[in-house]
């Protein structure tokens, strides 16, 4: 009986996440690929599926026109793609620069204080991201809190334009994704053996040398995990650029939304989404390659 329960428990633990991934990840991805190779039409749904079941069995008639259309008008899609990568990359970099000292401080604190600090890190997730963006708008607006304080203190005479700029996008990205960078960094730094750092200091190593030769190399897995957790959702972000950005901050998420809901061209929107997934896969493949290099 115990053997049966143990075996059933193992199968349940293995198959439940697998079934979840198949239902809510693989099948939607396959459907999106199907739509991207479909022909658009003015009906409901607004496309003829490339892969479908019929009286004559399964038929697969892919159409590459959507990808050819993107290639033909590549100038209309290239800038949003470059913008997405640029804004996501620097947002990830700023999150890393801010999160590393915070994660180190949390990891080196005593246990009761660690729990309090981790709760504070997670507290932004307890509120809606939309509410956080509107709060940020209240801070960055020309008549917002920051400009009012600066004018009152005499540092500026006219309001500073912070909305609809790269700065507002980076502020929103950092506000949304900073905890996702802190947590994996903390998980790596908290496992560092303090005796190694103390031994290096006893041998005369400077703090900068200790950081470069001991702390930083051992925290690389946390850096990679945190960067992936931030970069992947940031590169396809829609809400933050829509609320905080302007025409110069157009990203692929907004382009996909426009194709889906305004133009009702689902096949082109799905093709853009597949291209975006391909862009996102590149850093993951690179990270896996780095892991294999480190193991070898």
Segment among 158-162, 257-261, 284-288 with least mean pLDDT: 284-288
User: Please, is 67 exposed, middle or buried when counting C-beta atoms within 10 Å of its C-beta (0-12, 13-18, 19+)?
Assistant: middle
What is the SS3 assignment for the chain?
CHHHHHHHHHHHHHHHHHHHHHHHHHHHHHHHHHHHCCEECCCCCCEECCEEEECCEEEECCCCHHHHHHHHCHHHHHHHHHHHHHHHHHHHHHHHHHHHHHHHHHHHCCHHHHHHHHHHHHHHHHCCHHHHHHHHHHHHCCCCHHHHHHHHHCCCCCCCCCCCCHHHHHHHHHHHHHHHHHHHHHHHHCCCCHHHHHHHHHCCCCHHHHHHHHHHHHCHHHHHHHHHHHHHHHHCCCHHHHHHCCHHHCCHHHHHHHHHHHCCCHHHHHHHHHHHHHHHHHHHHHHHHHHHHHHC
CATH number of 73-264: 1.10.3720.10
pLDDT on residue 149: 93
Stretch 228-246: mean pLDDT: 91
How far apart CA 186 and CA 167 sit, in angstroms, is: 27
pLDDT on residue 287: 65
* Res 214 pLDDT > 80: yes
What residue ranges do the domains of the chain occupy? 73-264
* Res 97 pLDDT > 90: yes
Q: How confident is the model at residue 294 (pLDDT cuts 50, 70, 90)?
A: low
pLDDT on residue 147: 92
Q: What percentage of the chain has pLDDT greater than the value 70?
A: 93
* Res 290 pLDDT > 60: yes
Residue 13 vs residue 292, higher pLDDT:
13
* Res 1 pLDDT > 60: no
Q: CA nearest 252: which of 242, 267, 262?
A: 242
Per residue in 135-187, pLDDT (tens digit) is 999 999 999 899 999 999 988 889 999 999 999 999 999 999 999 999 999 99
How far apart CA 49 and CA 106 sit, in angstroms, is: 52
* Res 7 pLDDT > 80: no
* Res 57 pLDDT > 80: no
* Res 278 pLDDT > 60: yes
pLDDT on residue 2: 64
pLDDT on residue 168: 94
pLDDT on residue 205: 83
Q: How confident is the model at residue 188 (pLDDT cuts 50, 70, 90)?
A: very high
Q: Whole-number mean pLDDT of the chain? A: 87
**Most confident region among 52-61, 95-104, 140-149 by mean pLDDT:** 95-104
pLDDT on residue 11: 74
pLDDT on residue 231: 92
Stretch 190-219: mean pLDDT: 87
| C-beta separation of 100 from 111 below 8 A | no
Residue 1 vs residue 56, higher pLDDT:
56
Instruction: Please count the other Cβ atoms lying within 10 Å of the Cβ belonging to residue 101.
Output: 10
pLDDT on residue 4: 64
């Amino acid at each position: 009986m115990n053997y049966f329960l143990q075996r059933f428990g193992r199968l349940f633990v293995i198959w439940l996440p697998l079934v979840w991934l198949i239902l809510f990840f693989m099948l939607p991805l396959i459907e999106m690929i199907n739509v991207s190779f479909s022909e658009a039409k003015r009906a409901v749904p607004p496309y003829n599926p490339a892969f479908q079941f019929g009286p004559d069995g399964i038929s697969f008639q892919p159409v590459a026109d959507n990808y050819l259309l993107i290639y033909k008008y590549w100038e209309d899609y290239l800038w949003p793609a470059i913008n997405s990568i640029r804004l996501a990359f620097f947002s990830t970099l700023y999150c890393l620069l801010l999160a590393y000292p915070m994660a180190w401080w949390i990891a080196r604190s005593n246990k009761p204080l660690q729990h309090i600090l981790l709760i504070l890190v997670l507290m932004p997730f307890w509120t809606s991201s939309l509410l956080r963006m509107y709060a940020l708008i209240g801070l960055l607006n020309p008549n917002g809190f920051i400009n009012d304080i600066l004018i009152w203190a005499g540092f500026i005479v006219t309001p500073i334009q912070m909305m609809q700029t790269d700065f507002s996008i980076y502020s929103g990205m950092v506000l949304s994704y900073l905890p996702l960078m802190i947590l994996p960094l903390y998980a790596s730094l908290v496992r560092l053996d303090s005796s190694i750092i103390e031994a290096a200091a006893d041998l005369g190593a400077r703090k900068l040398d200790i950081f470069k030769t001991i702390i930083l190399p051992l925290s690389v897995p946390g850096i990679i995990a945190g960067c992936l957790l931030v970069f992947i959702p940031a590169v396809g972000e829609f809400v933050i650029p829509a609320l905080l950005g302007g025409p110069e901050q157009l990203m692929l998420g907004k382009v996909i939304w426009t194709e889906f809901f305004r133009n009702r061209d689902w096949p082109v929107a799905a093709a853009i989404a597949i291209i975006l997934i391909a862009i996102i896969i590149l850093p993951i493949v690179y990270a896996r390659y780095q892991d294999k290099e480190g193991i070898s």
